[in-house]
A and B are shown apart, each in its own frame.
Chain A
Amino acid sequence: MNRLVKIVALALEAPEREVVLGDLAECGSPVAGALLDVSGLVLRRQLLIWTTWRPWLALIGVAGVSGYHLGWMHAALSMALFQQTAAWKHYGVHYNTGVTSFRDQVTHMTALAAAIFCWTAVNGSLLRRLSGRAGWLTWLVFYLAVFYFPAARILSSSGVDYGNQPWWATVRWLVPHSAESAAMVAGLFVIPFICGVLGKIALIKPITILCTIAAAILGGSHAHDLEAFSSGTFPAASWHNVLGPYLLAGWPVLIVARILRPTEVGSAGGCTPLEHSCHSSARRDDGHEV
């Protein structure tokens, strides 16, 4: 069997892959025909996945909406950390706006970092459970939503002229540019996402809700401090404007905690009819089913 055919067949569930490759070997299909056959089946399987609501919720709700707001939180936190580390490196002092105390800033950043960590873990868990075999796309969109779109929007609205660069030059925004940002990406996103995908989020659910509340209160408090500091020049945002982004970034935890029961969630991983038939064949082997 051609190696390329086997690679394409990896996109199929293991039992189905076994059967299809066996059929192709038995028929002695030419490589091109086998490749076309397997690709066709993979395409049909991928299209079938999208006939249910779960991958759409993962794509739009989790990867799109939550990921996008998570990206903005990440951008805000990166900016705050950059200011602090740059001030410390160059002048040996902490960066102080005078709006809030350094302790309050650190508390807010810590709460926000903890919230991002937890939200990412919850999103990773939910994406795995909802996407099934469409995970490759929802995970990619989540990555783009977190790392690319906020960066693209900040840079495009910053007045810097990128007009003479090809569009693909922006791909470099997808990777961290420094050791600090790489460490931040690993700590806030990669590690919790892997934990979430592996399902290690039992403790994270209540912590996520606490962190979301803490980050929202501290964020709102900062907005009011800014209003007081500027004598009303920068009016504080209303509470729903302050809370909105936190709720949009953190809503998946409500799904994980409440709406999807464990059995429901477990079955969302994409058990194909063939897998069901495998289960039934096991029962048949035991002599309990005809």
Chain B
Amino acid sequence: MLGEFEYLVISAAMQRGEKAYGAAIRDEIEQTTKRPCSIGALYTTLDRLESKALIATWMGEATSERGGRAKRMVRVTAKGIRAASEFYNTVKFASRGLVWEAD
């Protein structure tokens, strides 16, 4: 099963759709979790997900705002979608009937 951060990365990539690449995914995760996301964690996770064939990556076009440097584009594969769905359903099932309220 996916790890928590792996799920966040796949979700962020899905949210960004065709425009999913390193910096955009990082931005999406930081906006969602309200926590900083290190580039080291992001890129090693992308590599791990790609090695499991849950995502596919390729070098995108270079833009001037990036100093003429290329992007690493990300696309979630069908296997990745199934893995994320399984993770989500597991969390949802594990949370059934629970109300998260601290005293």
Binding site for B on A (CB under 8 A): 1, 15-16, 18-27, 36-38, 40-45, 48, 272-274, 276-278, 280-281, 284
Contacts and interface: CB of A to CB of B under 8 A. Distances in A.
B65 interface: yes
B39 A22 contact: no
B62 A22 contact: yes
Contact of B67 (A15, A25, A284): A25
Interface stretch (B4-12, B49-57, B89-97): B49-57
Given A41-B40, A273-B51, A284 B23 contact: no
Interface of B: 22-23, 26-27, 38-41, 43-44, 46-47, 50-51, 56-59, 62-63, 65-67, 69-72
A287 B39 CA distance: 31
A4 to B, nearest CB: 16
Given A18-B70, A22-B71, A26-B23, A277 B58 contact: yes
Contact of A26 (B46, B57, B66): B66
A16 B71 CA distance: 10
Given A22-B71, A37-B38, A273-B51, A44 B65 contact: no
A277 B69 contact: no
A23 B70 contact: no
Contact of B70 (A1, A22, A38, A48): A22
Mostly, the B contact residues are helix
A23 B44 contact: no
Given A273-B50, A273-B51, A22 B59 contact: no
B47 A272 contact: yes
A21 B66 CA distance: 8
Given A19-B70, A25-B65, A25-B66, A37 B59 contact: no
Nearest to A19: B72
17 contacts: A1-B67, A15-B70, A18-B69, A19-B22, A20-B22, A20-B43, A21-B67, A22-B62, A23-B39, A23-B66, A25-B66, A27-B26, A40-B41, A44-B41, A272-B47, A277-B56, A280-B56
B59 A43 contact: no
Contact of B69 (A25, A37, A43): A25
A278 B62 CA distance: 14
A281 B58 contact: yes
Contact of A274 (B26, B39, B47, B63): B47
A78 to B, nearest CB: 45
Nearest to A47: B44
B20 to A, nearest CB: 13
Nearest to B60: A281
Nearest to A24: B39
A21 B40 contact: no
A22 B67 contact: yes
A227 to B, nearest CB: 59
Contacts of A281: 58-59
B65 A26 contact: yes
A107 B40 CA distance: 56
Contacts of A19: 22, 43, 59, 69-72
Contact of B39 (A40, A272, A273): A40
A279 to B, nearest CB: 10
A1 B2 CA distance: 35
Given A272-B47, A273-B50, A277-B58, A27 B69 contact: no
Contacts of A40: 38-41
Contact of A44 (B23, B44, B67): B44
A22 B23 CA distance: 9
Given A37-B40, A274-B72, A277-B72, 17 more contacts: A18-B70, A19-B70, A21-B67, A22-B71, A23-B23, A27-B23, A27-B26, A37-B39, A41-B39, A44-B40, A44-B41, A48-B44, A273-B51, A274-B57, A276-B50, A277-B59, A281-B59
